[in-house]
Structure 1
Amino acid sequence: MRTIHRMLAATLIAGAAIAASALPAQAHEGDHPSEPTATTPEMHRIVAKVRAATARFHDVETAIAAGYVPAGECAASPAGAMGFHYVNPALVRPGAPVDPAQPPMLTYGPSPSGDLRLWSAEFFEPDVGQPVPTLGTYPFDGPMPGHDPGMPTHYDLHVWVGAHNPAGVFAPFNPALSC
């Protein structure tokens, strides 16, 4: 597992360094709320696109075959769980337009039978001085420091397409789930 973490960190750092050379530095405003106060037609369209794009990834083996690799233990906090992260390094493209059909990360959690089931798609970009990324008009959270050694400062946005999240479709943690 440590080898996967090192590979992921190296991939993310290399991608961030390459992208940083192409983007001007800009000041950041800090954290940006990602959850709307009410559902909107745009939110429904975005979630539908992400849900359709990830439908085949309910089977974690299909995600692995498509290039997603495990990136750590099940992430949880007092606010709830995020799950086991799987990252597709080819889809981590700092500063590129965000495509709802190509989430760079997927999260999985245990099902009652013990198998992994898809919980969310996560859009992730290392911070290379770009403007705050958005999915449609919804800004990513961040910039935030990396959560593990070697993980860069980054932006991210979860879209809970496989499990209902009472905290909101774009909330980072799901209080109804645990690892």
Structure 2
Amino acid sequence: MSLRSRTAGAVLALAVPFALAAVPADAAPVPEADPFVWTDLTPTYTATADYQYEPFAVTDGYRPIGRCAQGTGTGEGGAGYHYVNPAHVGSLDPAEPAGLLYETDSNGGRALVGVEWIVRADNAAGAPTLFGQSFQGPANLDGVGSVYTLHAWIWKDNPSGLFAPWNPTVTCP
């Protein structure tokens, strides 16, 4: 068993129970609080666990695009640095998000905070859905064009919701 496999297994074993425990028992029911969503996201955790070490993401075809994305509204927060794997653009497979979202960590490196599915908006079908959530957009993504996107903040809690487009706890330097 490789170090990457053991790391992914350990991260998944710790991340999923933590994520389930992060929803207060008395919280109002919202779609992203559905525990089955976390089960559906298990392949995403497994597939992206290694990318907490940013060089593994680059080795596997993810490339940084644009600058750190910051919301324009008060309190919106940010989406961080986008890394996109062109081979996954258009995928609705939970294990193949096209984008990874990073923020600057306390050591000046990159910390994985979320993932993103990206689908080109040049089709007539409109915004797709995944995990019972409609994609946001269309919007222009640097280097990709007009797209629909769905964020999942699986590596950092988002007070705005698991699938919110912006995370108020993510800031750009």
Task: State if a TM-score over 0.5 links the two structures.
Answer: yes
Verify: 1:104 aligned to 2:98, yes or no: yes
CA RMSD of aligned residues (A): 1.7
Q: Secondary structure at the match of 1:99?
A: coil
Distance verdict in 2 for CA 1:147–1:57, change over 3 Å: closer
| One-letter amino acid of the structure 2 residue matched with residue 161 of structure 1 | I
Alignment deviations for residues 68-123 of structure 1 (CA, whole Å, 9 cap, x no partner): 01111100023101001000001113xx5x10000001011111111101011001
Counting matched residue pairs gives 139
Structure 2 Cα separation of the partners of residues 156 and 168 of structure 1: 15
1:74 aligns to what SS in structure 2? Answer: strand
Q: Given the alignment of the two structures, is residue 90 of structure 1 paired with residue 90 of structure 2, yes or no?
A: no
Alpha carbons of 1:122 and 1:38: their partners in 2 closer, same or farther (altered >3 Å)?
closer
Contact 2:32/2:163, CA 8 A, preserved across alignment: no
Residues 115, 38 of structure 1: alpha-carbon distance in 2 compared, 3 angstrom cutoff: closer
Residue of structure 2 aligned with 1:154, choices 147, 151, 156: 147
Please name the residue that 1:124 is paired with. 118
Q: Distance in 1 between matches of 2:46 and 2:107?
A: 25
Q: Distance in 2 between matches of 1:159 and 1:90?
A: 19
Q: Structure 1 residue runs of 4+, over 6 Å off?
A: none
Q: Which has the higher strand share?
A: 2
Gaps of 5+ in 2: 1-29
The aligned residue for residue 145 of structure 1 is: 139
Please list every run of 5 or more consecutive structure 1 residues that lacks an aligned counterpart in the other structure: 1-35
Q: Of the two structures, which has the highest relative contact order with CA contacts closer than 8 Å and spacing of 6 or more? A: 1
SS of the counterpart of 2:164? coil
Query: What TM-score results when the alignment is normalised by the length of structure 1?
Result: 0.71
Letter in 2 for 1:92: V
Shift of 1:49: 2.5
Q: Distance in 2 between matches of 1:153 and 1:162?
A: 26
Find the aligned partners of 1:107 and 1:119 in 2 and give their Cα distance. 6
Q: CA deviation at 1:153?
A: 2.4
Which residue of the other structure, out of 72, 77, 84, is the alignment partner of 1:80?
77
Q: TM-score, normalised by structure 2?
A: 0.74
